[in-house]
Chains A and B, each alone.
Chain A
């Protein structure tokens, strides 16, 4: 049954690129109540629409753009989730991006856009409120992100239109490619850009001019004031504003948990650390800019000379700069910024540097030879070699392009001995902090449904440690872990920013205030009067359905693990040392129990699925022989 609820765009747009047709389907109240929005809608749509047995790049696979009910209506709220079966990992794929695309999309009347089919030639889709146009993009194929975005804004003739596009890397189906939004914000994880490339979809341009309706304006203003007060009162807000995530170079270094030499060392020399710690002071222009309604505005604008391009602005966070610099033994932040610029323009994920780090270790061990990489010297820190790899991968050029285009899995498939050195979980390479340096918190890499990611339990780090210090019993640690994972999942469902709402939250009191503000915002906007339990029931459903999706891809308990190196070797730093990752099995037992998952397999139990109203998922898993009948 179709419903119009304030705060929601009101419909899902189904776009068929093969037939160049589209259909607008109103949201139904059941979907809203059960999954709320954002990552919730996306995971449900993906479960229902994906063909689990077909290749992620098969034309009929869905590529889903989805946003949440608070996007455009709350502080730090403008997130878009891009979801698909991932060509990087072969499992559930979800990538989250800021900028104002989600805001325009919702104002145009859509909570989600589902792209299926593939165009026979390069195409872009121009969505202007109710109108959906398929336009030729042949002239844009091969163009960089800035060239494409500039040209598209000119072509549609509306400066307020927002562009999500792929660069050369996405066109060439590189699994580490990124969908770039508003020039330099990236939906980079899980290879969603390669899915876009496989559909010959160069870009999506969107503009919405519908009015915004609020259920209860007075309560809405109060909720905003509560939220703003909560942010103002938390010292984390100022920290994020001042340095962005670049304060983490020092934090992770101090505990000896940086990922250096491909996971063999955890600390930088003091003088190098100093340079990276001061990177925002040295290279940032004064103006800071934020995503939509961002009360933290953690994004820093760097200005750097890029050889061959001139003086350029680049936006990069800690998580992008580290892999593009010291993880490859490049100790000059300026070079890291230059690589950030290159990868951004070519539409390549910043964590691509992690692949090069693996290749450098393999080269050091003689597993990769000079001959395999067109004569390149892959010694640690070789800036020229790194530049060549970035360019050749983005254009999938020569032996080098082929080797790196398939991601970590591509490298390991080619060199089976590389398996024990590859730093990944479920073939996702996103491990910014070494779990040996912080075992409790970094359990997040093990169970995240999209493979290794720091983002799905990123928040509340200080609170987590306050509630469950490292020597606390595992039971206590794991129950706190669930609190963190639940809150971050909620944030992703609502369409607000994970970083602003959770990562920069530094006390239990602040977290409770923010949680309350989110609920009040939601209810004042929608008038649905949900309770906090309704919120967290939706969270359980989302995690269950994502795990059920992964179960269909064959993911089992054995895959909920960490890289071999982290489980077997200790981690050293100059002043720190950590033993191999402890108690993985015990932690997993506890996690499965708390989530209602089968302890042998990690698959959701039938009774848990039924408890949360996911009977149809249980039935589907039974039919497929994944759950016993």
Chain B
């Protein structure tokens, strides 16, 4: 199984990843950037800008936070699946994620969570600065991912 590792210090916030994501998940030939699974957040001064995406953390706070059990981890690929039938659009998962990896869709008010493009994440391929990597899960990558997430949390504080 593999996971996304995001290095915030490499990210320039250029948003190329959002094009990769939105064009991959587009319905017809319309691009709706508001439904991108990866997003750019900026600080108040619009100087620090950095991508936000679900990084399949081991803890999966979103899964535990969901009151109706609509979220679960995909056995084969490890991303977080959404059962839209069960979901009550309460937003608990959005609140629970310390990495701001989830938003609610403006279309159907269900969580938008990275699906790893079903094993071929396009943002990893397209990022010009190698800020995203798709890595085999093992002890080393787990600690790497943990350190990267810490940095992310600190950055989010700065953005807030």
Contact = CB atoms under 8 A, between A and B. Distances in A.
Interface string B1-35: 00000000100111110011001101001111100
Contacts of B29: 6, 213-217
A293 B48 contact: no
B152 to A, nearest CB: 13
Interface in A204-255: 211-217, 220-221, 224-225, 228, 231-232, 237, 241
Given A211-B30, A214-B31, A297 B12 contact: yes
Contacts of A290: 12-14
Interface in B125-141: 126, 128-129
Interface string A283-327: 000111111111111000100000000000101000000000000
Nearest to A303: B47
Given A213-B30, A295-B128, A313 B23 contact: no
A289 B9 CA distance: 11
B14 A294 contact: yes
Given A183-B46, A241-B129, A295-B128, A217 B14 contact: no
A308 to B, nearest CB: 19
A182 interface: yes
Nearest to B24: A221
B33 A294 contact: no
Interface in A490-543: none
Given A183-B46, A297-B129, A224 B23 contact: yes
A213 B31 contact: yes
Nearest to A215: B29
A291 B13 CA distance: 9
Nearest to B34: A209
A215 B9 CA distance: 35
Interface residues of B, number: 25
Nearest to A224: B19
A581 to B, nearest CB: 39
Contact of A293 (B19, B30, B129): B19
B21 to A, nearest CB: 11
A302 B129 CA distance: 20
B12 A301 contact: no
B49 interface: yes
A297 B16 CA distance: 11
A573 interface: no
B154 interface: no
A301 B13 contact: no
Contacts of A214: 23, 26, 29-31
B128 A232 contact: yes
A68 to B, nearest CB: 17
Contacts of A232: 128
A160 B26 CA distance: 22
B36 to A, nearest CB: 12
A241 B11 CA distance: 12
A75 interface: yes
Q: Name the residue in B16, B23, B33 with the highest tally of chain A Cβ atoms < 10 Å from its Cβ.
A: B16
A165 to B, nearest CB: 14
What band does the interface of chain A fall in when counting residues whose beta carbon is under 8 Å from B? 35 or more
A291 B42 CA distance: 12
Nearest to A214: B29
A271 to B, nearest CB: 31
A12 B16 CA distance: 28
B70 to A, nearest CB: 27
Q: Name the residue in A215, A290, A301 with the highest tally of chain B Cβ atoms < 10 Å from its Cβ.
A: A290
A183 B45 contact: yes
Given A224-B126, A232-B128, A286-B9, A212 B16 contact: no
Contact of B15 (A224, A286, A293, A301): A293
Contacts of A225: 126
Given A75-B16, A217-B29, A295-B16, A228 B45 contact: no
A216 B20 CA distance: 15
B26 A217 contact: yes
A42 to B, nearest CB: 25
Contacts of B30: 211-214
B105 to A, nearest CB: 14
Contact of A313 (B26, B31, B32, B45): B45
A241 B23 CA distance: 26
B46 A182 contact: yes
A231 B13 contact: no
Q: Name the residue in A182, A183, A225, A287 with the highest tally of chain B Cβ atoms < 10 Å from its Cβ.
A: A287
Contacts of B45: 183, 313
A228 B31 contact: no
A221 B126 CA distance: 10
B128 A228 contact: yes
Contacts of A237: 128
B115 to A, nearest CB: 17
A132 B68 CA distance: 44
A221 B16 CA distance: 12
Contacts of B126: 224-225, 228
Contacts of A75: 16, 128
A315 B12 CA distance: 14
3 closest cross-chain pairs (CB), A and B: A297-B12, A295-B128, A212-B31
Given A213-B31, A296-B128, 19 more contacts: A183-B46, A211-B31, A211-B32, A212-B31, A214-B26, A217-B26, A224-B20, A224-B23, A228-B16, A237-B128, A287-B50, A289-B13, A293-B14, A293-B15, A294-B14, A295-B16, A295-B128, A297-B128, A297-B129
Interface of A: 6, 75, 182-183, 211-217, 220-221, 224-225, 228, 231-232, 237, 241, 286-297, 301, 313, 315
9 contacts: A75-B128, A182-B46, A213-B29, A214-B30, A224-B20, A289-B48, A294-B12, A294-B14, A315-B47
